[in-house]
Structure formats: C-alpha cells, structure tokens
Structure 1
C-alpha cells in the first residue's frame, strides 16, 4: 500500500475571534472533520478533508 505524504500546503485555517463569524468558522471546520471521519479509507480521509476545506473556501 502506498504511503500518502501530506504536503506543506495542508495547513489548518487560522480563525480570528472577531465578530459573529467565529461560530460560523468553527462550525465549518467541524463539518469538514465530520465528513472526513465518515470515510473509512485513510487515504480517502485526507483527500475528503482537503477538498471540503477548498470547496467551502471557494
């Protein structure tokens, strides 16, 4: 089985605690983690997490 190396591009987002957007940002990150946890294959978990963050940011 091939190993997956996470590149330096995968960094957790940095959120500021200013205003009402903090709760929305927190929920967004929890939703991305939850969707990745529902995936069984470890390689697919990394891909699911990355694409969820990128998809929501766009």
Structure 2
C-alpha cells in the first residue's frame, strides 16, 4: 500500500499548490491527494471530484 506522504512527495510544485488550496477550502488531506491523482492534477476537476464523492465544505 502506498503512503499518502509518498504520493505527495511526487507532486510538482503546482500539484502541491493545488493541494494547499483545496485543503484551505476545508477538504480532508487524504481526499485531496486522491482527487488530484485521479484528476491528473486538474484543480477544477479535483474540486468536482471531491463534491461528487460526498466531500462538502
């Protein structure tokens, strides 16, 4: 099983910035990492993914 911190280390600086913005919005860290990975680093799609999967602010 891959640790979230290992995945996070492989994020580009833009991916880390997206992660910080989504966490600041109130989404849980694990869900944010999953969304960014699933959505190939697309911030808007990541937000949609989080809402579509029941993560609300």
TM-score bracket, shorter-length normalisation: 0.3 to 0.5
TM-score (norm 1): 0.36
TM-score normalised according to structure 2 size: 0.36
Which one has the bigger helix percentage?
2
Larger-gyration structure (1/2): 1
Higher relative contact order (CA 8 A, sep 6+): 2
